[in-house]
Each structure stands twice: as structure tokens, then as C-alpha cells.
């Protein structure tokens, strides 16, 4: 599993996969008011990078503004570069290639980029990550220093942890409730009986009106995705320890991860149950890898 992809992403993308909520979220992020009837069109891409990294949310407002939002539990200094790849893919998908050679100027939606951060490490309320931060410096080649790069992309990173950026969260009730929900869940993660603790946390949030309607509709889905991913996180730690102790090549760990990712991406309950059953049996990394390969061979 990608270290930035966990239950928070799953809940976040499910919760905000709604045009009306996205309109409210954007207005909160920019401190503006948009008419309720202005159309919002979701165009989130899948598998836009070689590592199957999904971009979280992409949407257009009124056909003239395109917004990309990533949810992160760790700050990635390459976020601007990734956003650059995302927006390139989106424009490639929506613009007919032949029109690029037209003598008429092609207008494209105005892009804006945001990262919503709610990890454990300290981070300011807001920060900017620039694409130019990754550029090699021309002066190292004996060229004059460029005051302004000819290509730039800026990503606004916003800390949405519970208790941070209160003005922003007051503008968007769903964002505030999401942050409070995550804080509640994080407080019970270390408890031994995670299943009971998570059910208690979900019920407590519903009782307090935190994501009440969302949890009434998706409680079972949220519970399953959290328990599955928590178990996989713990299993991954075990696999890494075993690999170091036995000198097992990193390819084994990656092979297991890919098998898990394929099972989860297909959304097949039997695949998830099978993987988790192997973990529960206490099989080693090598043994789990062999079982997965055997299953794949039979399937093919």
C-alpha cells in the first residue's frame, strides 16, 4: 500500500464525491461565494501515473475553473510535480490534439491546486509547494540566474487537522466533521480490540451528529475499509522485519503489496478475505507470496 494511501483517503474521496459538497469545499478554500446553480463536474482520473497512484479529486466549476485536490497524511515535496503530471493528463484527455495546431487560441479551464494535510507531524496552517523548487539551478552550469522560471506550478497545502484552520472549517461543515471524525478514529487506533473500538467511534460520531448522514449510508463500508487497511499496515511492518532478518529481497515485499492492491482495486470481498486469512494464519512473507502466486497461476 502506498504510504500516503490509507483509510483517510478512502473516506475522504467517498465523502467529497458530490458536486454540492465540492462547491462548498472550494468556496471555503478560496473564501468566495458561488451560486448554488453553478455546475460542478467531477473528472477524477484513475491510474494517471506508472505506480497506479490515483489522484484524489479533480473537478470543473462552470467549465471555466478546474480544481485538483489531494489528501495527504504525509507531506510529499514532489506534490507540485505530481500535480503537473495530473493536470497534463487531464488536458490531454479533454483537448483534441488536432486543435492544438489551430490558428485560433484554445482556451482551457483556469487550474488551481490544493493539498489537504491531516498527518501527525507538525505543519503550519498553510504553505506553498512550488514546481520550481525541483528545478536544477542554471547558474551551476555557468548560466545566469533566472529571477522567474518560465514554467511554474504552485500547490497550496492546508492543514485540516481538528483544531487547525478553524475559519476554513467553519465555512465547510463537511470538512470540519471529517476532521473531527478522523481525530476520533485516530484516538482509538492503538486499542487492542480495534473492531469494537471502531464501532464505538462510529456510533459516537453518529450520536454527536458528526458525518451522521454519511455514516448512516456508508458505516459498513467505512468499517470494512478501515479494518482491512489497518490489518494490512500491521502486516506490512511484519513483512519488512522478516525481510530484514532473513535477507529476503525487496521484490518479495513488493510482490505481496501488488497482490493486495490488485485484490482491493477489484473490490472483491473474497480476495480481501483470502489475504487477511493468510495473515491471520501467521504465514511468513515468503509463504504468503507463494500462496498468492499459486492462486494467480490457477486463475490464469
Mean pLDDT confidence for 78-87: 93
- Average pLDDT for residues 86-92, to the nearest whole number? 89
Per-residue model confidence (pLDDT) at position 226: 74
Of the candidate ranges 164-173, 236-245, 263-272, the one whose mean pLDDT is the lowest? 263-272
* pLDDT at 253 (0 to 100): 57
pLDDT at 51: 39
pLDDT at 147 (0 to 100)? 80
Q: Region of 258 please: left (phi>0), alpha (psi -120 to 50) or beta.
A: alpha
pLDDT tier at 258, thresholds 50, 70, 90: low
**Contact at 8 Å (CB) between 20 and 12?**
no
Q: Is the pLDDT of residue 72 over 80?
A: yes
Rounded mean pLDDT of the chain? 79
What's the confidence (pLDDT) of residue 62? 92
Find which of 251-255, 260-264, 281-285 is predicted with most confidence, using mean pLDDT.
281-285
pLDDT (0 to 100) of residue 176: 95
pLDDT digits (tens, 9 = 90+) for 5-16: 455 667 888 889
The per-residue pLDDT for 251 is: 56
User: Does position 50 have pLDDT exceeding 70, yes or no?
Assistant: no
Q: Could you tell me the residue ranges of all domains in the chain?
A: 1-172, 219-300
Is the model's pLDDT at 171 over the cut of 60?
A: yes
Q: What's the rounded Cα separation, in Å, for the pair 37 and 19?
A: 11
| Residue 187's pLDDT band (cuts 50, 70, 90) | confident
More confident residue, 257 or 290: 290
Which residue in this structure is represented by grid cell 468499517?
A: 223
Q: Note whether 2 and 10 are within 8 A (CB).
A: no
Least confident of 139-148, 172-181, 204-213: 139-148
Amino acid at each position: 500500500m502506498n504510504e500516503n494511501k490509507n483509510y483517510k483517503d478512502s473516506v475522504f474521496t467517498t465523502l467529497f464525491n458530490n458536486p454540492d459538497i465540492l462547491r462548498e469545499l472550494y468556496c471555503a478554500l478560496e473564501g468566495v461565494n458561488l451560486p448554488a446553480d453553478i455546475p460542478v463536474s467531477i473528472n477524477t482520473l484513475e491510474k494517471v501515473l506508472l505506480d497506479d497512484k490515483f489522484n484524489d479529486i479533480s473537478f470543473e466549476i462552470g467549465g471555466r475553473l478546474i480544481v485538483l485536490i489531494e489528501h495527504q497524511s504525509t507531506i510529499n515535496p514532489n506534490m507540485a510535480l505530481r500535480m503537473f503530471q495530473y493536470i497534463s493528463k487531464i488536458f490531454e484527455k479533454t483537448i483534441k490534439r488536432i486543435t492544438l495546431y489551430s490558428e485560433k487560441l484554445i482556451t482551457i479551464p483556469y487550474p488551481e491546486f490544493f493539498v489537504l494535510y491531516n498527518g501527525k507531524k507538525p505543519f503550519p496552517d498553510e504553505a506553498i509547494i512550488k514546481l520550481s523548487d525541483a528545478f536544477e539551478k542554471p547558474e551551476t552550469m555557468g548560466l545566469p540566474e533566472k529571477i522567474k522560471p518560465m514554467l511554474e506550478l504552485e500547490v497550496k497545502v492546508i492543514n485540516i487537522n481538528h483544531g487547525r484552520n478553524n475559519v476554513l472549517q467553519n465555512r465547510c461543515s463537511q470538512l470540519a466533521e471529517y476532521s473531527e471524525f478522523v481525530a476520533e478514529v485516530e484516538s482509538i487506533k492503538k486499542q487492542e480490540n480495534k473492531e469494537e473500538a471502531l464501532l464505538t467511534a462510529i456510533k459516537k460520531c453518529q450520536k454527536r451528529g458528526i458525518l451522521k448522514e454519511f455514516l448512516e449510508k456508508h458505516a459498513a463500508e467505512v468499517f470494512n475499509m478501515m479494518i482491512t487497511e489497518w490489518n494490512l499496515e500491521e502486516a506490512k511492518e511484519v513483512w519488512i522485519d522478516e525481510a530484514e532478518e532473513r535477507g529476503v529481497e525487496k521484490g518479495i515485499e513488493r510482490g505481496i503489496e501488488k497482490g493486495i492492491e490488485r485484490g482491493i482495486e477489484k473490490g472483491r470481498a473474497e480476495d480481501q478475505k483470502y489475504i487477511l486469512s493468510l495473515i491471520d494464519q501467521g504465514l511468513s512473507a515468503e509463504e504468503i507470496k507463494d500462496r498468492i502466486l499459486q492462486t494467480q497461476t490457477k486463475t490464469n
